[in-house]
Homo-oligomer: A and B are copies of this chain.
Amino acid sequence: MTPISRDEACALDDKDPLARHKAQFDLPEGVIYLDGNSLGPPPKAVLARIQSTCEAEWRDGLIKSWNDAGWIDLPKACGAKIARLIGARADDVIVADSVSVNIFKLAAALNTKAPGAIAYHTDEFPTDGYILQGLSNLTSAPLIRLAADDGHDAISSDISVLVKSVVHYKTAAVADIAAWEKAAAEENVAIVWDLSHATGVLDIDMRRAGARYGVGCGYKFLNGGPGAPAFIYVDRQTAAALTQPLSGWMGHAAPFDFAPNYAPAPGVERFACGTPPILSLSALDAALNIFTNIDIAAIEVKAKGLGDLFLARCAAIGLESISPPPRERRGGHLSVRFEHGYEVVQALIAHGVIGDFRQPDLMRFGFSPLFLGYRDVWDATNKLANILETEEWREAKYSARRKVT
């Protein structure tokens, strides 16, 4: 039930079983952070863990920490924690490299196994398409660019691999994984799911949906830190048939044997490549611990509730949303349209409400349920309404354009 007053919002917070997790974060005083979908804030335990990784492990343990502190096992350990959130088997996920690099690995491996065209939707997050352009340029595999409204029926037998987002980075529309997989299975097409905007906020069940391949990032709803390493999911039943080209030593069956020829590790581990960045990986590992005792389904329900409240208030202000309405499934963020959205987002930041802006006119806001409540959303929309009503956004200081991430 969407609250219709601040009192009702507060009442929802009071009975929210996830509210207690806010204490695990240390957000700046006076800030309502609606950008956890872009960069999650650090849980306190992560800050403590980084210190111990740097001091007890790196400084005091030195090289021995690769074994003694379990650094060498972190890619698998993190993978197992992520697997639980996306409905994969614990050892079918590892953490390695970036989303971009992992898309390359998977698309290349699948395209090697079954040559054909590589397809993607041109409206999805640009790096996915860029990477496929690079792969196509290298191997001469044909590229098929799908339009935003191309649905399952765009899947044809000349496609070898389709890379597709589970949650759209602007609209937060959610793909029906099972329906796409069904259509893909009929044409023998492999789908690589980009779970970046879904993991940690949606209740995803890859196995039940028949999805065998996925990648995703660690720094959004997982709160793993800026540029946290990414993950890669490959169902074990198909991993053995896949040869990925970024065959670095960490994906070798016996990396410390220093054998002359590459021999892939079993399962998804063959998708590891070089030596992983341990400080960033250790932060991600600690951030993932927060999810251990939380039902991901409860997170999705609350994120939806917070987003629905935001949408209801935006409708009252007269802002148009491009995101799925309350009756539909939606990711943990949403976007509303306003011609001077850049300026409004800057003004909001000046008032302690942090969201982001996406070209050409989208104000994007994320609702991480672990540190946000209904009251926060209520107050944020109040500030938004004030900025629009007073036209404060017209002040020159809000219009200086800068890079946004």
Are A257 and B359 closer than 8 Å at their CB atoms? yes
Stretch binding the partner chain, chosen from A78-86, A198-206, A222-230, A231-239 = A222-230
Whether A277 lies near B228 (C-beta < 8 A) is: yes
A47 at the interface (CB under 8 A from B): yes
> Across the interface, do A278 and B138 meet the contact criterion of CB distance under 8 Å?
no
Q: Provide the residues of chain B in CB contact with A247, threshold 8 Å.
A: 130-131, 133-134, 137
User: Would you call A248 and B280 a contact (CB within 8 A)?
Assistant: no
CB-based contact B134/A246 at 8 Å: yes
Q: What 1/0 mask marks residues of chain A from 40 to 63 whose CB sits below 8 Å from any chain B CB?
A: 011000110011001100111011
Contact (Cβ within 8 A) B354 A226: no
Asked whether B100 lies within 8 Å of A249 as measured between CB atoms, the reply is yes
Assuming A130-B252, A217-B275, is B98 touching A98 (CB within 8 A)?
no
A 233-276 contacts with B by CB, 8 A: 243-250, 252, 256-262, 273-276
Query: A125 to nearest B CB, angstroms?
Result: 8
Question: Could you tell me the distance between the alpha carbons of A3 and B354 in the complex, rounded to whole angstroms?
Answer: 63
> With the chains together, A104 CA to B35 CA distance in Å?
34
Task: Report whether A225 and B278 are in contact in the complex, using a CB–CB cutoff of 8 Å.
Answer: yes
Cα separation A249 to B217 with both chains bound (whole Å)? 14
Count of identical protomers in the assembly: 2
Name A138's closest neighbour in chain B (CB-CB): B245
In the complex, the chain B residue whose C-beta lies closest to that of A98 is: B274
Interchain CB contact under 8 A, B246 and A354: no
- The answer on a CB contact under 8 Å between A227 and B112 is no
Contact of A63 among B26, B104, B229, B354 (CB under 8 A): B354
Q: Nearest residue in B to A96 (C-beta to C-beta)? A: B98
How many angstroms between the C-alpha atoms of A404 and B134 in the bound complex? 36
A92 CB, min distance to chain B CBs, angstroms: 21
A312 CB to closest chain B CB, in angstroms? 25
Partner of A62, one of B41, B104, B358: B41
Q: Any chain B CB within 8 A of the CB of A31?
A: yes
Inside 8 A of A403's CB, which chain B residues have their CB?
66-67, 72, 256
Smallest CB–CB gap between A388 and chain B, Å?
22
Q: Across the interface, do A41 and B59 meet the contact criterion of CB distance under 8 Å?
A: yes
Evaluate contact between A98 and B273: CB separation under 8 angstroms: yes
Contact present for B112 and A137 (CB under 8 Å) = yes
- List the B side residues contacting A50 at CB < 8 Å: 50-51, 54, 279
A46 to B358, CA, bound (A): 35
Query: Taking beta carbons and an 8 Å cutoff, which residues of A are in contact with B?
Result: 26, 28, 31, 33, 35, 38-39, 41-42, 46-47, 50-51, 54-55, 58-60, 62-67, 71-72, 97-101, 104, 108, 112, 122, 126-127, 129-131, 133-135, 137-139, 217, 219, 225-230, 243-250, 252, 256-262, 273-281, 283, 349, 354, 356, 358-359, 402-405
